[in-house]
Chains A and B, each alone.
Chain A
Amino acid sequence: MILLSPRNQLIASLCLAGFGLTLFFGNSFRDWDMPLDWIGTFLFVAAVWFFVDAVHRIPHSEAELAIAPQEWQAWVGLAFCSACLVAIWTSLPAFAAPVSIRENPEAGAAGRSIGMLFVAWAVLAHVLNQRWAGTVIFDERDRAIEKRASTWGRAATTAAVICIAVLLGFSPTERLQMLSYPWIAQLLMSTLLVGMWFDNAVAALLYWRERRQLDSP
């Protein structure tokens, strides 16, 4: 893969990462008698390795330089928060069984998928920071934007917690007995993610709006 041009290597490693994640997440392959989740993880890690190499070799384009490093991070964070929220909400039925996650293979697989998304996010954020190694990636303007975004993130977390409190507080007892602890744990996780989603979304929006104003005459 090293023999490819950086741009082609980037595309190839993204395809490899996608294939690795498909093997990891793909429930339809679970019947195969192979450790596909481990093979998927290995492919994903290998793809990230080649991705980092390609990222280092590609020169910065003018379009890329127009966007602040923290804006890139905000957009990436927004994408991963959205993916994690979708993964949590779509997998909620798997956590409904009143047994611990260890005794529930379906919930375990869903939990691993969500965990993998967090790992992928951390890896990509690190790769992006490496891309700007040696230059300033965070300054007082970023801090001001982060402060405004955090206010929204905190407000969203508070609102989500109040929603859960009201939901649990006003639900009939017989309905509450149907909710398992893993299900409530997932609900709490999604509360945190809602806060992070707003944090990243507002930051990305503020950067984008400012950039648009700078571009306009």
Chain B
Amino acid sequence: MAAPLTITNHIRRFRFDRGEMTQQALADACGVTRQTIIALEARRYAPSLELGFRIAHALDATLEEIFQWQAPT
């Protein structure tokens, strides 16, 4: 079992807030596959800084609004 990621996100909420944007539409806007968006939303994958910025840009939000970092306890 993989260790839980310390980076969490609100991609799913922001997608729905932005007119129910589909995973595929967000993936196309960010230049990644739909499976990567699925893995991100399930918090199974930590994106690179560049992809984080791309997602924030596509969702018209700031990086801090979308992603949060939790210090490991």
Interface of A with B (CB < 8 Å)? 65-71, 135-142, 210-211, 213-214
Contacts and interface: CB of A to CB of B under 8 A. Distances in A.
A184 to B, nearest CB: 42
Instruction: List the 9 closest A-B pairs by CB distance, nearest first.
Output: A139-B32, A68-B35, A141-B36, A214-B42, A136-B33, A140-B48, A68-B33, A139-B36, A139-B33
Interface residues of B, number: 17
B2 interface: yes
Contact of A140 (B27, B32, B38, B44): B32
Contact of B33 (A142, A210, A213): A142
Contact of B47 (A69, A71, A140): A140
A140 B42 contact: no
B34 interface: yes
Nearest to B47: A140
A141 B33 contact: yes
Interface string B1-31: 0100000000000000000000000011001
Contacts of B38: 214
B42 A136 contact: no
Contact of A210 (B28, B39, B47): B39
Contacts of A65: 34
Contacts of B45: 141
Nearest to A140: B48
Nearest to A216: B42
By secondary structure, the A interface counts as helix
Contacts of A68: 33, 35-36
Contacts of A211: 35
B51 interface: yes
A35 B30 CA distance: 52
A214 B44 contact: yes
A214 B48 contact: no
A141 B48 CA distance: 9
Nearest to A214: B42
18 contacts: A70-B33, A71-B35, A135-B33, A136-B27, A136-B31, A136-B32, A137-B33, A139-B31, A139-B33, A140-B36, A140-B48, A141-B32, A141-B33, A141-B35, A141-B36, A141-B39, A142-B33, A210-B44
A213 B2 contact: yes
Nearest to A142: B33
Nearest to A209: B2
Given A136-B27, A141-B39, A214-B44, 12 more contacts: A65-B34, A66-B35, A69-B33, A70-B33, A135-B28, A137-B33, A139-B32, A139-B36, A140-B36, A140-B51, A141-B36, A142-B33
